[in-house]
Amino acid sequence: MATDAKLDQPAIQLAYRDLRFLESADARALRILSEYLSPMAQLRRAGVQNTVVFFGSARILPRDVALQNLRDLESQSKQGLAGPLQAELERARMGLQMSRYYEEARELARMVTAWSIKVHRNSRYLVVCSGGGPGIMEAANRGASEAGGRSIGLNIKLPMEQKPNPYITPGLSMLFRYFFMRKLWFAQPAKALLVFPGGFGTLDEMCEFLTLTQTRKIGHRITILLYGSKFWKRVINFGWLVESGTISKDDLKLIRFVDSPHEAFRILKDELGRTVSARRAVKHPFF
């Protein structure tokens, strides 16, 4: 009977293999630490030390998709369904206008990656990094892939499903539970930031970078470009921030506005080329 009682007892499990414990509030510190150490190991294995980060809306479509959406709605409206479709038609027309940013992010990522491969044949000097999802994120990973280079996707676990886009390099797609750890890995290896039009998430990420740079907490120089001057100057009245005294005039030097892939690439090439001239990547303390 004693033997039977022992057989009924659950097997003793190692704590680090106990998924119930790891998902508990008591193990939060372990989860946070894992989201620091695991990406570090992945990037180290891949030889990635410097990134160019692309932020922007997940909702911006490729031009061909946006155009097809509009044509489908216009076709329906010709069939006498114009009334209910008017709001959708307006959104589709705006979607087509905004699709230029998808194509331009794609082109800029291609240019940056091709240049990086040219100056560093192992293609590890500057690696495009995005949030790993659709929209501008997909465009950045797609452009890097089309140039024959690698790219990183730092995805986030959300209540609504967000799948990694198919253009991220295998082994460089990472999924985060915590926004703040994801932001850390955006910032830590970044040499440049391209901020395309976006919503709350893009604004949050952009302001995080600006704050870290303004307060000199990031530890190294980052080139920050806001892509789409008309969009960003309408969204944020930077002049009023200076006039109201909430930022200094010098703080505006942290950002520059650009409106074409070639203009952005010229700035990136000029500023990041100083590091490239040594013909080797600059290592960061976390490696």
Structure tokens at 224: 């920050």
Q: Which are the contacts of 105, defined by CB distance < 8 A and separation ≥ 6? A: 54, 56, 136, 139, 140, 143, 194, 196, 227
What is the distance between the alpha carbons of residues 276 and 287, in angstroms, rounded to a whole number?
19
Phi-psi region of 282 (alpha: psi -120 to 50; beta: other; left: phi over 0): beta
What pLDDT does 160 receive?
A: 79
What pLDDT does 130 receive?
A: 98
What pLDDT does 125 receive?
A: 82
What pLDDT does 124 receive?
A: 64
What is the distance between the alpha carbons of residues 166 and 145, in angstroms, rounded to a whole number?
10
Cβ contact 49:123 at 8 Å? no
Residue tagged 């080139």 (tokens): 223
Q: Which are the contacts of 99, defined by CB distance < 8 A and separation ≥ 6? A: 60, 61, 62, 63, 65, 66, 67
What pLDDT does 278 receive?
A: 45
Structure tokens at 23: 């998902």
What pLDDT does 44 receive?
A: 94
Classified as helix, coil or strand, 10 is: coil
Mean pLDDT in runs of 10 for the chain (287 residues)? 58 85 93 96 93 97 96 80 75 96 98 91 80 97 96 92 90 95 96 97 96 91 96 96 96 96 96 63 46
Structure tokens at 254: 């942290």
In 3D, which of 40, 19, 57 has the Cα closest to residue 181? 40
Domains along the sequence of the chain with CATH: 44-62+98-276 (3.40.50.450)
What pLDDT does 238 receive?
A: 95
β-bridge mates for residue 70, sequence order: none
What pLDDT does 158 receive?
A: 87
What pLDDT does 41 receive?
A: 95
Quote the strand ranges of the chain, DSSP E.
Answer: 51-55, 127-130, 151-156, 173-176, 190-195, 223-227, 256-258
What pLDDT does 167 receive?
A: 98
What pLDDT does 127 receive?
A: 96
> What is the chain's Cα-based Rg?
23
Q: Phi and psi dihedrals of 54, rounded to 5? A: -110, 125
Whole-prediction pTM value? 0.89
